[in-house]
């Protein structure tokens, strides 16, 4: 027995030494390697469950864009092949009911196309004529129709009669009159005068026909009724400007053209799906509450919307996505749990059986908890990954194990040393709650040395980080920093009480939770307390500016696209109506001091920490003037600062690979500028 123990220990030590030697033989992750990353996204299973279509994203170094192509693979991992090639991007896709062909949208320049491709022969034909950004593709059960949504232009409102310029004259562009409740969206800019409408295209050939003329937009997944007599979708019929997310499940009848709301509660009802036996309808939704964040519930009813029931999920976790099980009695449900994206089977009585907690998403730059799945005929496809592996495609087998069936990053993984994320817990000094966080250490880490530390703060603020791949964290670690990220109160995936701790109260004790994480890491002995740095984006940028107004423990800070003045942002962001009605209990003119008391700008007089601001010039979620206000205030206060504008970028400033690299380089350069601890002011 003792010999066996010694032998096992010897084998373990040899394995560890081999792993260290292997990691040392690999190169450290560099900015150039960002362009080598590929990842799988948006899986869709064929009706028979035998074929998986998905998007493979890659970094195009010549165009500096994330591009994608359509690929297919058998659910057993065989016959992996590329379907589209040469397009700028591909979009929505749907299998025919025969499983033999796939329709997909492709984009080239400013043109969009809808194709049908036979999977066996490779024959491809274009469907429709001059279609503009078709989306939400769905074939009817009888195989006669392809339904989709598409924007339809309408006339703008005018005020006054414009003059006609003389021939050859060069006049200014005409004025534009806005009466829409939302006329600008981040990532798009000013919206054209158009609404998404429903179209039907006969599969036997012919032109696409617009079948709705609604005054509201129809832009949601489409679900056919079992007899192909109509479709279900979600839409905001009520058009209440103060309830922008108040959608209902709507039924469209093909024969009469009638639209009928099947739900009526105030709050979002969305993603309607009919059971495989055609007898029941299920969807996600929640009743309206005085908070921006809500846990989505799973509802079920008869197909006509009668006898509504809530399917209990015996936890406080909201449902992110769902699908019917083939037995029409159970459901596949996706939810967040403690930094993981979980897929489970849910019974009608609320019993939950986990299938996997390894789902991973498409976010490349930050470790947000994300993931996708698709299921048909009992087969489940998922996107999987971890802190050291960009997202690949996987399948959950009958044994419950996840089998990864793509390996797009093999060459990169074989040549580059990626740093894992280790899980830890801090005790909150506010109420002793467990605050979960993760830590990444530099390659060839030596616990006897002393390292600088970067605290990274997630946005949302109702979101969560987890051990998922993040190129920026890998680059920070490669530069010699201990990287720490976690989930303070307000984060999702714990319980409802934890998430709602910051309702009408952000920022607040989430700051304390983050400082408790910092203290926990410093207490380990290998982090230099004089070289602490902080960076956060969006809600994390807001918390960053709040933190430097509360403490001078950080050597330098970077706030990316922050909200720093609630009085200005709630009426200018693209989510203005939502924020004005839900962020605080009163409107800004009813209680301006409540807004001001939670605005980081109110604390700017306390700031001594060198703080850099970074924002996309086209950001409409947290518009650039938020960062500009803080930048100007810091200059007036004599605090070292810089304002970094990202041309052409919206809220997601790392959308293009070079933007991600430029962001990381600027952050590291800013921190390095203030790395001389001999000049550090006295800390608290």
DSSP string, 500-546: GGGTT--SSHHHHHHHHHHHHHHTTSSEEEEEEEEEEETHHHHHHHH
Which pLDDT score, from 0 to 100, does residue 680 have? 41
User: Residue 526 — very low, low, confident or very high, per pLDDT cuts 50/70/90?
Assistant: very high
CA atoms lying within 13 Å on the CB side of residue 424? 22
- Model pTM? 0.93
State the pLDDT at residue 362. Answer: 77
Which tens digits make up the pLDDT trace of 328-342?
Answer: 999 999 999 999 999
User: What pLDDT is recorded for position 54?
Assistant: 98
Q: What residue ranges do the domains of the chain occupy?
A: 419-675
Q: pLDDT tens, 178-228? A: 999 999 999 999 999 999 999 999 998 889 999 999 999 999 999 999 999
**SS3 assignment, position 151:** strand
Q: What is the pLDDT of residues 52-105, one digit of tens each?
A: 999 999 999 999 999 999 999 999 999 999 999 999 999 999 999 999 999 999
pLDDT for 677: 61
Look at residues 141, 132, 135, 119 and name the one whose alpha carbon lies nearest to residue 50.
Answer: 119
Digit-coded pLDDT (tens) for 301-317: 999 999 999 998 866 78
| Distance separating alpha carbons of residues 430 and 448, to the nearest angstrom | 32
What per-residue confidence (pLDDT) applies to 313? 83
Separation between Cα atoms, residue 553 and residue 427, nearest integer Å: 20
Handedness of CA 201, 207, 213, 219 (dihedral sign): positive
Give the residue carrying structure tokens 């069936």.
Answer: 405
The C-alpha angle with vertex 162 and arms to 160 and 165, in degrees rounded to 5, equals: 170
Specify the pLDDT at position 267.
94
**Which pLDDT value is given to residue 398?**
74
**Vertex 618 angle, CA 628 and 601, to 5°:** 25
Give the tens place of pLDDT for each residue, 496-511.
999 999 999 999 999 9
CATH domain 419-675 topology: Rossmann fold (3.40.50)
pLDDT of residue 129: 84
Let me know: does 319 contact 331? Beta carbons within 8 Å: no
343 - beta bridge partners?
334, 356
Asked if residues 93 and 117 have their Cβ atoms less than 8 Å apart, the reply is: no
Give the Cα separation of 214 and 667 in Å (integer). 47
404-420 pLDDT, tens digit each: 999 999 999 999 999 99
- For 610, residues 6+ apart whose C-beta sits below 8 A from its C-beta are 555, 556, 557, 639, 640, 641, 670, 673, 674
Going by pLDDT thresholds of 50, 70 and 90, the confidence category of residue 1 is very low
pLDDT surpassing 50 at residue 19: no
Predicted confidence at residue 5, as pLDDT, reads 36
Distances 262 to 220, 242, 247, 278 between C-alpha atoms, Å: 15, 22, 11, 16
Q: Average pLDDT of 354-368?
A: 89
Give the pLDDT score at 684: 35
Residue 24 pLDDT: 56
With cut-offs at 50, 70 and 90, classify the pLDDT of residue 551: very high
Q: H or E segment at 137?
A: strand 135-139
Torsion of CA 273, 277, 279, 281, to 10 degrees: -10
CA within 13 Å, CB half, 406: 32
Angle at CA 334, nearest 5°, toward 333 and 339?
A: 145
Contacts of 233 (CB under 8 A, 6+ apart): 136, 198, 218, 220, 221, 222, 223, 249, 250, 252, 272
Burial of 618-631, coded b for 16+ CB within 10 Å and e otherwise, reads bbbbbbbbbbebbb
CA dist 223 → 148, 246, 365, 441 (Å): 10, 20, 33, 47
How far is CA 255 from each of CA 150, 180, 230, 258, 305, rounded to the nearest angstrom? 20, 31, 8, 8, 19
**Interatomic CA distance for residues 152 and 154, integer angstroms:** 7
**Residue 458: how many CA atoms within 13 Å on its side-chain side?**
26
For the chain, give the percent of residues with pLDDT over 70. Answer: 95
On average, the pLDDT of the chain sits at: 93
- Provide Rg for the chain, Cα atoms: 26
Closest CA to 491 of 474, 470, 514: 514
Q: Distance between CA 145 and CA 393 in Å, rounded?
A: 30
CA 246 to chain centroid: 21
Provide φ and ψ at 682, rounded to 5°: -60, 130
Residue 349 pLDDT class (50, 70, 90 cuts): confident
CA distance 640 to 601: 16
Closest listed residue to residue 664, CA positions, set 674, 653, 675: 653
Beta strand pairing status for 189-190 and 51-60? unpaired
Pairing mode of beta strands 527-537, 556-560: parallel
Contacts by 3-6 with C-beta closer than 8 Å and gap 24+? Answer: none
| pLDDT the model gives residue 676 | 84
Distance in angstroms (rounded) separating the CA atoms of residues 374 and 46: 10
């Amino acid at each position: 027995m003792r010999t066996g123990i010694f032998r096992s220990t010897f084998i373990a030590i040899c394995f560890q030494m081999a792993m260290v030697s292997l990691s040392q033989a690999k190169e450290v992750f560099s900015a150039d390697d960002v362009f080598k990353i590929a990842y799988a996204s948006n899986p869709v299973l064929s009706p028979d469950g035998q074929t998986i279509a998905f998007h493979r994203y890659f970094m195009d170094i010549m165009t500096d864009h994330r591009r994608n192509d359509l690929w297919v693979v058998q659910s057993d991992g065989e016959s992996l092949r590329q379907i589209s090639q040469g397009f700028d991007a591909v979009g929505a896709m749907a299998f025919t009911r025969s499983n033999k062909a796939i329709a997909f949208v492709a984009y080239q320049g400013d043109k969009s196309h809808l194709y049908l491709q036979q999977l066996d022969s490779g024959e491809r034909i274009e469907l429709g004529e001059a279609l503009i950004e078709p989306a939400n593709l769905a074939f009817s059960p009888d195989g006669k129709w392809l339904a989709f949504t598409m924007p339809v232009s309408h006339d703008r409102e005018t005020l006054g009669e414009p003059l006609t310029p003389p021939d050859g004259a060069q006049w200014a562009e005409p004025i534009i009159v806005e009466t829409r409740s939302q006329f600008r969206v981040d990532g798009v800019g000013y919206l054209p005068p158009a609404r998404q409408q429903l179209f039907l295209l006969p599969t036997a050939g012919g032109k696409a026909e617009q079948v709705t003329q609604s005054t509201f937009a129809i832009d949601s997944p489409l679900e056919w009724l079992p007899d192909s007599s109509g479709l279900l979708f979600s839409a905001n019929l009520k058009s209440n400007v103060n309830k922008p997310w108040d959608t209902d499940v709507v039924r469209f009848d093909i024969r009469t053209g009638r639209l009928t709301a099947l739900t009526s509660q105030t709050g979002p009802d969305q993603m309607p799906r009919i059971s495989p036996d055609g007898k029941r309808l299920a969807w996600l939704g929640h009743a309206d509450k005085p908070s921006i964040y809500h846990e989505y519930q799973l509802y079920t009813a008869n197909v006509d919307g009668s006898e509504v029931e809530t399917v209990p999920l015996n936890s406080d976790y909201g449902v992110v996505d769902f699908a019917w099980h083939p037995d029409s009695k159970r459901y596949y449900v996706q939810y967040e749990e403690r930094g993981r994206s979980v897929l489970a089977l849910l019974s009608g009585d609320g019993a939950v059986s986990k299938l996997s907690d390894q789902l991973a998403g498409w976010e490349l730059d930050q470790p947000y908890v994300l993931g996708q799945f698709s299921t048909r005929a009992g087969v489940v496809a998922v996107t999987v990954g971890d802190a050291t592996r960009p997202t690949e495609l996987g399948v959950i087998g009958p044994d419950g194990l996840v089998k990864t069936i793509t390996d797009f990053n093999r060459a990169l993984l074989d040549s580059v040393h990626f740093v894992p994320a280790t899980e830890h817990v801090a005790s909150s000094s506010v109420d002793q709650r467990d605050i979960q966080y993760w830590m990444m250490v530099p390659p060839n880490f030596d616990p006897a040395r002393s390292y600088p530390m970067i605290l990274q703060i997630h946005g949302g603020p109702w979101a969560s980080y987890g051990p998922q791949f993040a190129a920026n964290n890998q680059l920070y670690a490669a530069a010699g920093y201990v990287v720490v990220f976690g989930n303070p109160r307000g984060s999702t995936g714990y319980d409802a009480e934890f998430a709602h701790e910051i309702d009408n109260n952000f920022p607040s004790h989430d700051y304390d939770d983050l400082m408790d994480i910092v203290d926990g890491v410093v207490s380990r002995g290998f982090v230099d307390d004089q070289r602490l740095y902080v960076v956060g984006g969006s809600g994390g940028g807001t918390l960053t500016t709040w933190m430097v107004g509360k403490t001078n423990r950080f050597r330098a800070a970077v706030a990316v696209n922050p909200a720093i003045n609630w009085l200005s942002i709630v009426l200018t962001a693209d989510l203005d109506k939502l924020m004005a009605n839900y962020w605080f209990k009163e409107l800004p003119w009813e209680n301006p001091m409540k807004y001001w008391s939670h605005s980081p700008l109110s604390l700017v007089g306390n700031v001594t920490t060198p703080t850099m601001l970074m924002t996309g010039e086209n950001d409409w979620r947290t518009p650039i003037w938020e960062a500009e206000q803080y930048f100007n205030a810091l200059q007036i206060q004599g605090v070292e600062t810089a304002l970094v504008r990202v041309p052409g970028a919206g809220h997601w400033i790392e959308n293009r690979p070079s933007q991600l690299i430029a962001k990381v380089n600027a952050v590291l350069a800013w921190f390095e500028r203030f790395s001389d601890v001999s000049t550090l002011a006295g800390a608290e």
